[in-house]
Structure 1
Amino acid sequence: MTALSTERQTSLASQALIALGLAAGPVVALGFTRFAYALLLPPMHQELHWSYAQAGGMNTANALGYILGAAGAAFWARKRGSRAAFLWSLALSGVALLATAATASLPVLLGLRFAGGFTTAVAFVVGSALASRIAVGAVQRRSALLVAVYMTGVGIGVVISGLVVPAALSSGDAGWRTGWLLMGVLAMIALVPAWLGARAVAEATGTHAATLSGEQIRRLGPTFAWYILFGAGYVSYMTFVIALLKSQGLGASMTALFFVVLGVASVVATLSVWGHLVGRLRAGRAPALVAALVFLGVLPVLLMPAGPVAALLSAVVFGGGFMAGPTAATVIARRMLPASGWTAGIALLTVAFSVGQAVGPLLSGLMSDGEGGIARGLWLSAGLLVLAALTALVQREHTAS
């Protein structure tokens, strides 16, 4: 092995560690704030006497906050600096999680979910831009791999949630409160690796656009449409799949295993497959492939006989694809936009993603309250993912300008 190749490997290893530190952002933003709710929904639904529409409305409130947070992320990064915006928004996300444990009031909980959505969106978008800048000037494949390392934070957060929340729920009637409390404490601990990662990335220099031009937005139009449909489809599944599995008779240990397997599949696939593949696929092929795989991941719990086999197969396939969506979106923004537009581009794409995430759980919840139950709501998820895959294929490749 030559000295040059050794130096390159050392450089990649150090850059990967920086991306892993930044990955504390998606650990909290999605792993804890967004997806842990799927485990906490059944006891909250039962003990607080919610309808499925109200339960879905909690994630809709979170997604509405996410929309506003994503829309303002470029502003806060420009005003406060990327590192400060990332760390402060992450800290406030932890406060929102802690506060969720302190109340049973639906209006207050909706407000906290909204606030948590706002702060986590800023953290996620700015963290994505920081991850994109770790290796400025590097080949696309290295940048895509580092973005993928950043996105593994979601799977890591899902695994932690799958281990911690079921243990909290076993503590008694107030178990859902304990679950939110533990998520908040862990979010505060996550500030340490987040700070270490953020301080290693230089602040952006030069003029950085707060918005994109009309032409740049039009060029990425199919990707925006894909992200709306993908967000609506995948989050409907993530919101209600645990409730479905419980209604099919699976116990707490099985649903916890499902969540852990889903998270592990996400981490492994993001690093071993998507981190390499997304950087190679052009135009809308990567988003289309992601949506198609996630669609296949929904089908086992809908078509196969209820039981552990269907649940775990769904966890592996769905988990292997769902966080490749944000990876693909971030890489497309980096590839097709000038560096000055990366934060704004990622922010606008995240807004599109959040619009889908706001609408999906509410519609799925309304359908689940009717005849056919939760399975009917999850068929909506499957249909939206098919539409997302077809829409992504319309995207054409453009040079950064």
Structure 2
Amino acid sequence: MPQAFAHPQGISTGMTSIRKSPPPVWVMLATGLLVVVVALVFARLAYGLILPFMRESLGLNYQQAGNLGTAAALGYLCLIMASGVFAARWGGQITIVIGVLLTAIGFCGLSLSSHYLLLVVWMTLLGFGTAFSYTPTISLLVGWFPQRRAAVIGAVNSGAGIGMLLVGAMVPYLQGAFGDSSWRLAWGIFALAGMLTAAAVLLFLPNPAAPDAVQQQRTGIKAIYRNREVIRIGLLYAIIGSTYVVQAIFMYSFALAGGLSPVVAGRLAAMSGILSIFSGPLCGALADRFGRRRVIQLLVFADLIGTGIPLLWPGLPGFALHYIIIGATMSGLFTVVLATTTEAVSAREASIAVSYVTMFYAVAQLICPAAAGLVIERSGGFSSAFTGSVVLIAVAFILSWHMTPDRLGGSQPAKIM
């Protein structure tokens, strides 16, 4: 085993750990990857692919569809900080298990419900589950491998691409095989996957030994909230994250409206998923080699181009280029942004900074899907909504040029207002 990935001495012996010795590194990373697939892809991103069939079956309009996406974002926002406190008190492992089980319950509810208000409840529960699953998974694994945090984040985030590959292939197949009931079956399959993943976390994702973690998390919180660099990163993260969710929800429908068949559009989404599998690790390596700020600038510019192409070329070539660019860049962009966040403050304050910038992301996700759905409904098309996305991404590109230059040889906290 490479020294950088060697296990630290000791693991937590609290109620949330059931092993006396840690499992192999690849098993821990694979389990973390499964959590990302369930909590991020199935609970958040897959909704965009299921939406056309779910909307038609239930008679939902686009504003209602956007509101369901907002419900998930609201659930995420409500518990994102609470999940950190819970993990600090009871351990990351049990926090993740609770989160994954919450998503499983939400999937079951969605597969069985038809009433709009119930759908809102279940989508909100998916947001709760994501909040208790994703960030604690990243923090737990970084706790095991602090010297390779960027590599760990990139490896685990590749689960987003794998999950989109699976969903992009599965949803059109289910639609062709089962017709109107296909979307219910898809949610049911997600529920089963959630329950199996919760069991895997209990078996293979123990807590690292961190006796001083709680005390460290109480240091310098106000300073982090006023850290100019962290605020800039948070604003950038909010824009790229929320516009990505908007395209994840509505780009598939835009492609169908542009004349693509469900199978072709699903294959494009699957292709995008394949590319994103490699995006996180590759972009992380590039950031280590050429500097995080430069790579962020390049990736945000690519996001700008990829989002704008379907507006100028709303046919198969335009949508194909969109999915290629987004697949090749977005997972890597999220990875580099999170790694940059941990370097904007001292090491012991990194988890607080990540939670803080995630709050920016969560607030934007609360607003943008519903706003995009309303714009699509009122304008009678998708162009206006994605034009707004392009404008926001252009603002993010400007923000990327105001980030603090990379500091080699260690990180020091940026200026405080």
Normalising by the residue count of structure 1, what TM-score does the alignment of the two structures yield?
0.90
Structure-2 residue corresponding to 1:290: 299
Q: Does 2:65 align with 1:65?
A: no
Contact preservation (8 Å) 1:67, 1:351 = yes
The 5 A counterparts of 1:73-152 are: 73-136=83-146, 138=147, 142-152=148-158
Runs of 4+ in 1 over 6 A off after TM superposition: none
Structure-1 residue corresponding to 2:372: 364
Q: Does 2:174 align with 1:168?
A: yes
- Distance in 2, matches of 1:211 and 1:296, equals 41
Deviation at 1:196, TM superposition (A): 4.7
* Stretch moving more, 257-266 or 290-299: 290-299
Compared CA separation, residues 9 and 232, structure 1 to 2 (3 A):
closer
Gaps spanning 5+ residues in structure 2: where? 8-22
Contact preservation (8 Å) 1:128, 1:346 = no
Q: Decide which of 294, 306, 325 is 2:315's aligned counterpart.
A: 306
Contact preservation (8 Å) 1:63, 1:358 = yes
The 5 A counterparts of 1:132-281 are: 132-136=142-146, 138=147, 142-170=148-176, 171-199=178-206, 201-206=207-212, 207-209=215-217, 213-219=221-227, 220-271=230-281, 273-280=282-289
The 5 A counterparts of 1:346-365 are: 346-365=354-373
Contact preservation (8 Å) 1:70, 1:122 = yes
Structure-2 residue corresponding to 1:3: none
- Residues 161-211 of structure 1, C-alpha deviation per residue, up to 9 Å, x if partnerless? 112222222302222111111111122222344345422x51432023158
Letter of the 1:295 counterpart: L
- Distance in 2, matches of 1:289 and 1:128, equals 25
Structure-1 residue corresponding to 2:13: none
Letter of the 1:302 counterpart: L
Q: Decide which of 376, 381, 389 is 2:389's aligned counterpart.
A: 381
CA RMSD of aligned residues (A): 2.3
Compared CA separation, residues 152 and 256, structure 1 to 2 (3 A):
same
Deviation at 1:225, TM superposition (A): 1.1
Compared CA separation, residues 291 and 215, structure 1 to 2 (3 A):
same
Residue identity over aligned pairs, in percent, reads 22
Deviation at 1:16, TM superposition (A): 4.9
- Distance in 1, matches of 2:263 and 2:292, equals 42
Structure-1 residue corresponding to 2:64: 54
- Distance in 1, matches of 2:78 and 2:180, equals 34
Gaps spanning 5+ residues in structure 1: where? 1-5
- Distance in 2, matches of 1:35 and 1:166, equals 15
Q: Does 2:350 align with 1:334?
A: no
Compared CA separation, residues 251 and 239, structure 1 to 2 (3 A):
same
Deviation at 1:48, TM superposition (A): 1.6
Letter of the 1:93 counterpart: T
Structure-1 residue corresponding to 2:401: 393
- Distance in 1, matches of 2:158 and 2:203, equals 17
The 5 A counterparts of 1:6-17 are: 7-8=2-3, 11=6, 15-17=25-27
Compared CA separation, residues 212 and 183, structure 1 to 2 (3 A):
farther
Letter of the 1:298 counterpart: T
- Residues 327-348 of structure 1, C-alpha deviation per residue, up to 9 Å, x if partnerless? 1232123222333323322222
Contact preservation (8 Å) 1:283, 1:396 = no
Letter of the 1:125 counterpart: T
Letter of the 1:165 counterpart: V
* Stretch moving more, 178-187 or 166-175: 166-175
Compared CA separation, residues 59 and 281, structure 1 to 2 (3 A):
farther
Compared CA separation, residues 391 and 113, structure 1 to 2 (3 A):
same
Deviation at 1:270, TM superposition (A): 1.7
Structure-2 residue corresponding to 1:40: 50
Deviation at 1:306, TM superposition (A): 0.8
Letter of the 1:18 counterpart: M
Deviation at 1:124, TM superposition (A): 0.6
Letter of the 1:187 counterpart: G
Contact preservation (8 Å) 1:24, 1:194 = no
Contact preservation (8 Å) 1:65, 1:116 = yes
* Stretch moving more, 115-124 or 390-399: 390-399
- Residues 198-238 of structure 1, C-alpha deviation per residue, up to 9 Å, x if partnerless? 22x51432023158523222221111111122222211111
Deviation at 1:144, TM superposition (A): 0.8
Secondary structure of the residue aligned to 1:55 is helix
Secondary structure of the residue aligned to 2:318 is helix
- Distance in 2, matches of 1:212 and 1:375, equals 44
- Residues 310-363 of structure 1, C-alpha deviation per residue, up to 9 Å, x if partnerless? 222211101111222331232123222333323322222211111111111111
Aligned residues: 389
Deviation at 1:106, TM superposition (A): 0.9
